[in-house]
Amino acid sequence: MNVTVKLTGLLVVLLIGVVLGLQTAERGISKVSGVPEEKAQTFYIKKVDQGQMEIAVMGKQVQTAGPEKMVNYVSRVGLTLGDSIKNGAQMFVDWVGSFFEP
C-alpha cells in the first residue's frame, strides 16, 4: 500500500507540474508574440456577472452558469469509481470471510 500512495502522490505532482508548465509556456509565447487580451487556452476563469463565471479548461468551456447548473463529470466519475472499489472490496472481504464461517 505504501507504494500505491507514493505512486499516486507522484502522479498528482506530475499532473500539477504539467498544467503549470503549460500555463507558463502559454504566457511566454503570448509575451513573445505580443498578442494582448487573448483568453488563455490551458486554464481560464472569468467572472461574468452576479456570481456567474466562465471556466475553460484546455480550450473547452466547462461552466457558464452558477454551480448548480454545472456538469461536473469528474465528480461523477470519481464517485462511480469510489463506489466500484468499495463494492469490490466488500465482495472480497465477504468472500474471504466465507472461508472462516463454521
Tell me what the pLDDT averaged over the chain comes to.
78
Q: Domain span at residue 21?
A: 1-36
Is 17 domain-assigned? yes
Ramachandran category for residue 34: left, alpha or beta (phi over 0 → left; psi -120 to 50 → alpha): left
Is 85 domain-assigned? no
Is 52 domain-assigned? no
pLDDT mean over 17-33: 82
Is 79 domain-assigned? no
Tell me whether strands 60-63 and 52-57 are parallel, antiparallel or unpaired: antiparallel
- Asked if residue 71 has pLDDT above 60, the reply is no
Q: pLDDT tens for residues 27-61?
A: 887 777 766 666 556 666 666 677 677 777 766 76
Query: CA of 74: how far to CAs of 27, 49, 63, in Å?
Result: 27, 25, 13
**What are the strands of the beta sheet with 60-63, ordered from one edge?**
43-49, 52-57, 60-63
The residue among 33 and 82 whose pLDDT is bigger is: 82
Is 48 domain-assigned? no
Query: How many separate domains does the chain show?
Result: 1
